[in-house]
Structure 1
Amino acid sequence: MRASTTGRVLHDPKGGSFRFDAGAVCLDFAHTGGEGRYAVFETLHQPADLARWLAEPPLSAVMTVPVTAGELTAAKVLRQAVWDAAHARAARRPIPARAVATINRAAAEAPLAPELAADGTTAGWAAPVRATQALSTLAREMIELLSGPLAERIRECAGDNCPLLFVDTSRPGARRWCSMERCGNRHKLRALRARRAAEP
């Protein structure tokens, strides 16, 4: 059912990919695409795309009822609300009322129900497994995140023009980058060039 790890491989439309761990499944979900200038990152084009994303670990919610076009639309509305709420929290701004209402509305639906397998040692999700339930589970996780002790650890990447969000779960609370292999290394290279340029 659930693994203890989060994170997905993100693909840049300009080429290249990297592993990004947002530290929460709801925040991983927020990075599946977006509106406006973020539309180029869209990965949820069809209902089947949403079903595929939800079926991957750690959520591992394999749909037993096909995802509908309406559920795909609802997923994108929830995704935008999670994105807006997390960015507001990271910037220490009030969370938009519209985002709060959307998250609460999704969370009010029945969530995924865990079910112990016959062997008594493994678990999955009780059928039927619907997209609406998975969205409710993601919304409830977002509520726990925003109202819990990790709310203060929601961060936006410190890289130039990088809007990726994550929960800093490191013990010292010093994580700055979406990924060391991406923005962290870019920062190191810029700092190295700046030092060399300043040398006599």
Structure 2
Amino acid sequence: MSERATGITLRPSDGGIFRFDPGALCLELLLTGGPGPLARYEVLDTPAGLLDWVAACRLDPPSLRLPPVGEDDLAAARRLRDAVLGLAVARAHGRPLAAADLAVVNAAAAVPPLVVRMTENAGREWASGASVDGLLSTVARDAVELFTGPHAAAGRIRECGGPDCYLLFVDTSRPGRRRWCAMERCGNRHKVRAHRVRTRSEGEEKCPQD
């Protein structure tokens, strides 16, 4: 059985399309925007934004049909996303988890999640009756697993080291030293900046003294 590729293709306004894998379903939800400086990326203000995220995220099986999405559904999705963001940032920087964020995640996780069933040809499909509440429960339960799981993945949540890059991810590298959301983006930008600084310093050293 082939594995489904994970990660979401990001298209930032400054160009440089790249694929980013944060390592968890709940962290993929953070790619939909958020409070403060993340507000300019907001997509959970329309039903289409939520449905586009569902189609792009790592849900397996990927095809999920939801009933019409209402304003209350969008508000609930934003609340859960912002709570997961608060927990992830706290873990990334070694701060205590906020009780309000925990309450939002736990409340969403308490609802029955999406259910997968087997088809006649041994495939997988979502059982009928899928809802936005079930979707958010599935995401919230993924967050519970991430922050409490036996492999201490929460201890490897990182924030990208690039200037003005707020992407969060689980560092699954063996040495645990991943710094960038993606090498082809912030990693390469860091290399370019470092090269320019080094070249400028070398040039200044070669200049004759007056």
The two structures have a TM-score, normalised by structure 2, of 0.88
The partner residue of 2:154 within 136, 151, 155 is 151
Which residue of structure 2 aligns with residue 135 of structure 1? 136
Aligned length: 198
The worse-fitting range, judged by mean Cα deviation, of 41-50 and 98-107 is 41-50
Residue 195 of structure 1 aligns with an amino acid whose one-letter code is: R
Which residue is 1:45 aligned to?
45
State the secondary structure of the residue aligned to 2:50. Answer: helix
Cα deviation for residue 55 of structure 1 reads: 3.0
CA contact (8 A) 1:46 1:72 kept: yes
Q: Quick one: percent identity of the two aligned structures? A: 48
Task: Give the match for residue 164 of structure 1.
Answer: 167
Using the TM superposition, give the Cα deviation of residue 96 of structure 1 relative to its aligned residue in structure 2, in angstroms: 0.9
Shift of 1:170: 1.5
Q: 1:123 aligns to what? A: 124
- TM-score scaled by length of structure 1: 0.92
Deviations 1:39-91 (A, max 9, x none): 11112231232123213352125124222221111000100001110000000
Quick one: structure 1 residues 27 and 179, their matched pair in 2 at CA, closer, same or farther if it must change by over 3 Å? same
What residue is the counterpart of 2:90 in the other structure?
Answer: 88
Q: For residue 193 of structure 1, what is the aligned residue in structure 2?
A: 196
Secondary structure class of the residue paired with 2:32: coil
Change (3 A) 1:127 1:140: same
Instruction: Report the secondary structure of 2:158's partner residue.
Output: strand
What do you get for the CA RMSD once the two structures are aligned?
1.7
* CA apart distance, 1:17: 3.0
Does the C-alpha gap of structure 1 residues 45 and 97 become closer, same or farther in structure 2, counting only changes over 3 Å? same
Question: What residue is the counterpart of 1:69 in the other structure?
Answer: 71
- 1:130, distance to aligned residue in structure 2 (A): 0.9
User: 2: distance between equivalents of 1:142 and 1:111?
Assistant: 13
Q: How far off is 1:10 after superposition?
A: 2.0
> Which is further off, 101-110 or 4-13?
4-13
Match of 1:31, SS state, is helix
Which stretch of structure 1 is more off in the superposition, 49-58 or 96-105?
Answer: 49-58
Q: Which runs of 5+ in 2 are unaligned?
A: none
Q: Is the CA contact (8 Å cut-off) linking 2:158 and 2:168 kept in structure 1?
A: yes
Alignment partners' CA distance in 1, 2:30 and 2:57: 16
Moved more, 9-18 or 95-104: 9-18
SS of aligned partner of 2:19: strand
Gaps of 5+ in 1: none
Q: Which has the larger radius of gyration?
A: 2
